[in-house]
Structures are given as structure tokens and as C-alpha cells.
Amino acid sequence: MVVVSSLFLALCSLSLLAAHPLVVRDAVSVSTPLGTAQGVVGVDGATRFAVRYANSTRWAPSAIVTEWALPNDADDPAALPLQCPQLNADASTYSEDCLSMILYVPDNISVGSDAPTLVWIHGGSFDSGSATFPGLDGSNLGIATDSIVVVIQYRLGALGFLPPDGSTNLGVQDTINALTFLSQVVPSFGGDASRITLAGQSAGAGMIRALLAGPSASSLFKSAIMQSDPTDYGFTSLATQALFQSTFNDLVSCSPSDIACHTALTIDTILDAQSNVENNALSLDPSAALGEPLHPVLDGTLITSPLDSTAPFPTIDKPLLLTNVRNESVPTIYGVALPGPDAFPPVVFELSSDAFLGVDRTAVLLASPFYETDPDGDSRVQLERLGTDYIWRCPTWTFGRNWVAAGGGSVHVGMYTIGATYPGNEEIPECLFDGAVCHQDDIMILFGTTSTPTPAQSALTIEIQARYKAFLATNDPNVDGLDNWEPAMSSDVHAMQFGAPGEVPVLACDPAFWGAAVQYDYQFFGL
């Protein structure tokens, strides 16, 4: 659905390199199997270690490093890694040498602690983002959860998902290599390699879904936390991937096997061709997920299950936390698709739905009680509700039900009703309305990096971090003194509201509506 999805790309393509200010108290060294790790200790009570975890030449599979090395050949342990090449970013902030991670180790964790590790995978539509984006300093989160927090990077866009030779999922393989590297070194910092939990937001959650669907990654983590996964987007089919690939190759004028031609391409040429493919994805293939047209591919080797309602779920015994925010689609609708101070008439809802969902599915929407005309006559209200349900909330709930029904471990589902405005969202007035929680507004709540938080934000940060601490330790997010968070069932997900009492109303997320009467994209297109 273009109207609902297109801003998701723009929103998650914000190229805001975080400063990650660190007041250094001292430098520190740790002996690892790969050599001496150099880090810097902050006054907040955690030590930060930045490291290159893998090497790769352009469009070749990455290889795990055999020696500990600072990112980008730096000689200062306080230096942060450059981000991977991406659109809308200054060239001085990125490098193809970007396969790095940052470890945040609380002062009370040392060798023998056997502490859990939380690995954060950043969002950004698989074509933007980094370990140094705003709010991702893991110090406070690590201290609050008694865990090592690790934030990783992986190759993005065409460099990670459109290699001209037709191979697939380089970015996914990078992530697997990051986890493999981590399992080798984390005991040296006091972590238990068997107690790694993956967590990620938006495309980062989508990457976790890809790892859950890849048997080769299964042994590398024990549980997962998926925040704001656009679950409506199934994995890319091989046919769609081949079409995007041939289009990209034509744009850069390189044959699949011409390595010399691939090597000679400038980053600008690659990013320009990538942008062309992304901007024209829907016209190339109606099944394209406009919010993230370049994403993991169901290749049958690395990723072997669609993990959606088009096929039976495999039984993967891992507990999951699945969360959304109240207004996932506000930035999509009000920020890019239909911006401006003036209301859009109700007919825009029907026309948009007709164009991108088809007449039959639109008729079901119009006849339902879930998307009634806004009293003020602004169709954006309906479209925002539709986008939040269709792209994020309802398919995530369906995923949770399917996971439980397949016997894949416990699932807890939740929704943020309080957030902290993420950089970029403050430019959208509707994200500043009382009670609005926009896509990405959960990140700084979780990490405890909200600037001058309100009492409500501080209270929610304490609650979320306490629940995550319990989940990392016991696979159960329930904590004495907090409301009981019921696990999801195959018929009722019991979605808890974070910041408000009670459960989230089911409304359109009834299994008999989305995925049946209307169908998600992955079903409709048979991905």
C-alpha cells in the first residue's frame, strides 16, 4: 500500500549520526581470544568497546576477523565506527569498511559473571541506519538490565542486498557473522555466549525475523525481542529479487560476472542506481514492499521458511517479545504521503485504498466499523489507523498467534502508549500531539536515553528495562510489583499497554478480518 508505506522508507532513512557523547574516566584493556580489546570507561558506569567484527570486499561474503581491531583502522579506542554507505548521509560519515559493533559493558560485569547479552539490530528499511544513530548508547540499558549490550552494523541497500552476481542476503550473512564473532569474545567481557538475546526495531526486527527463519543462525541466540516489525512485508521472492537485480545491473552497466566493473563503480553511482530501483519498485513488481523494497530474500538455503501465514510455521523453541507503538503510521501519512495543515476529504481514504489494496479489499474496509469517517472529515485519521493496523500491528499479532500455535515458545505482545519523540519526528506536528507515539518513539524509552524525560517517560523506562532484565534472565518479562503480562495464546494475544492500564483492544486485529477478509501483502501476492 503506497500511501501507507512510502513514508516508512523516508522515515527510517533519516541519516542522523549520533554524537554518542562520552565523558572518559579511564581507558581499559581486556584480553580476548582474538587479542587485546581496547575500550573507554565512561562516568556513567559502563565501558564502551568498538570493534571490527568482519572484513569484506565489495559484494563478496564477509569473513569474520581473526584479530581484534578497532573500526576503520582507528588508533583511538574512543573512536566510533563509520556507518555503512547510505543515501541522505554525508560521505564523510560512511565507509564500505563498516562491519563493526559496539559493546557496552557495565562496571559490575567481569570475567566469570556469565551475564546475558542483548544484541541490538538497528532499523532503517535495510538501506539506512547505524550503531551510532541517536539514542542507541547502550550504557544505561546495560546497567539497568545487568547485561552486556551490543549494537551491530551490517551492509545496507544495494551493497548488502543487490550484489550484481545474483547472490542474496549479504546483509543477513553479515549479521550472522557478527553473532558468531560475539560468541567467541563475549565471555572475555563477562558474558555467557549461550545467553544472547536479539532485539531490534523496525527493519532490525525484520532482520531478526529473517534469522528466526534461517536454521544456520538458530544456535547463536536463545530469545528475541521484535519492536515495530513491519510484518506485513514478507521476505522477497526469488523472482522479485531477480527483477530488481537485473534492473540494478542495467543501471550500473555492469554484467553479473564483471568484477572489475563492479570494483570501479563509485559509491555515488551505486547509491543512485539503488535509489532508482527503490523509487520504481512498485512499477517493477506490484508485490514490492515500498517501505523497504530491498530486504531479506526467501532463498531456500539461508532463509528456509517464510514465517508467515502462507505456510505452516516451523517449531522453533525460542521465547519472543513482540511490541508496537500506538501510532506507527503517523509519520508515514502526515509526514510524507499527505503532509500539510489542511484536512484531506474522506474520499481520499477510498481512492487510496482502491489504488493500493484493490476495489474488493477496499469494500471490506469501508463496510467495517474500524475505519469510520473521522468526525472532522480528515481522511488521514483513517489512513493512519489503517497503516498502523495493516503494516505493523495486526500482522505482528498474527505472527505471534502462529508462533504459539506451532509450539515455538512463549510470546508476549505489547504496545507503547507513551514514547519519547525520536529525532525527525519533532518535524511532524501530529507526532507531538498529546498521546501520540510515533514509529521509533519507543527507542529512547528502552535505552534510557531520553533527554530531560517527563515523570511518565522515566517511569515507563524503569518498567520496560525491568521487564527486559527479567526476560533476558528467565525468558519471562514479568516482575514482582508490576502488572502481570499475560502470554499470548493462539486465539488471544493479550497485548499489554505500556503506559496505560489494561490490554490493547483487538478491533481490526481479529484473525477473521486481516489475513482473511482482506489479507496481508505477503498473502495477497503469494510471497
pLDDT digits (tens, 9 = 90+) for 343-395: 999 999 999 999 889 999 999 999 999 999 888 899 999 999 999 999 999 99
Amino acid at 159: L
Lowest mean pLDDT among 148-157, 310-319, 320-329: 310-319
What's the average model confidence in pLDDT over 194-221? 97
**C-alpha grid cell, residue 471:** 526476560
Q: What is the pLDDT of residue 467?
A: 98
Q: What is the pLDDT of residue 422?
A: 98
Q: What is the pLDDT of residue 21?
A: 53
β-partners of residue 264 are: none
Q: What is the DSSP string of 128-166?
A: S--TTSTT---HHHHHHHTSEEEEE----HHHHH--TT-
Per DSSP, 217 falls in state: G
Summarize pLDDT for 19-31 with one digit per residue, the tens: 455 555 578 999 9
Summarize pLDDT for 385-444 with one digit per residue, the tens: 999 999 999 999 999 999 999 998 999 999 999 999 999 999 999 999 999 999 999 999
Give the count of alpha carbons within 13 A of 485, CB side only: 29
Q: What is the pLDDT of residue 408?
A: 83
pLDDT at position 131 over 70: yes
Amino acid at 72: N
User: At a CB cut-off of 8 Å and minimum separation 6, what does 441 contact?
Assistant: 325, 416, 419, 420, 421, 422, 425, 431
How does residue 6 score in pLDDT terms, banded at 50, 70 and 90?
very low
pLDDT at position 2 over 80: no
Higher pLDDT pick, 335 / 25 = 335
Q: How far apart are CA 239 and CA 246, in angstroms?
A: 11
What's the average model confidence in pLDDT over 46-72? 97
Q: What is the pLDDT of residue 12?
A: 42
β-partners of residue 136 are: none
What's the average model confidence in pLDDT over 302-311? 95
Q: What is the pLDDT of residue 18?
A: 44
Q: How far apart are CA 168 and CA 357, in angstroms?
A: 29
Strands 223-227 and 320-325: parallel
Summarize pLDDT for 76-128 with one digit per residue, the tens: 999 999 999 999 999 999 999 999 999 999 999 999 999 999 999 999 999 99
Q: What is the pLDDT of residue 25?
A: 57
What's the average model confidence in pLDDT over 331-335? 94
Task: Name the 3-class secondary structure at 252.
Answer: helix
How does residue 325 score in pLDDT terms, banded at 50, 70 and 90?
very high
Q: What is the pLDDT of residue 289?
A: 84
Q: What value does the mean pLDDT of the chain take?
A: 93
Summarize pLDDT for 229-287 with one digit per residue, the tens: 999 999 999 999 999 999 999 999 999 999 999 999 999 999 999 999 999 999 999 99
CB count, 10 Å around CB of 165? Answer: 15
Summarize pLDDT for 427-478 with one digit per residue, the tens: 999 999 999 999 999 999 999 999 999 999 999 999 999 999 999 999 999 9
CB count, 10 Å around CB of 204? Answer: 28
Q: What is the pLDDT of residue 514?
A: 87
Q: What angle do CA 14, 446, 187 make, to 5 degrees?
A: 100
Residues of the chain with pLDDT > 90: what percent? 88
- Supply φ then ψ for residue 327, to 5 degrees: -125, 60
**C-alpha grid cell, residue 128:** 539506512
**C-alpha grid cell, residue 84:** 555503512
Q: What is the pLDDT of residue 140?
A: 97
Task: Name the 3-class secondary structure at 485.
Answer: coil
Task: Name the 3-class secondary structure at 28.
Answer: strand
pLDDT at position 146 over 60: yes
pTM value? 0.95
* C-alpha distances in Å from residue 456, one per residue of 319, 444, 450, 452, 480: 28, 13, 12, 11, 20
pLDDT at position 480 over 90: yes
How does residue 44 score in pLDDT terms, banded at 50, 70 and 90?
confident
Which domains are seen in the chain, by residue range? 1-527 (3.40.50.1820)
Q: What is the pLDDT of residue 11?
A: 39
What's the average model confidence in pLDDT over 487-497? 96
Q: What is the pLDDT of residue 20?
A: 55
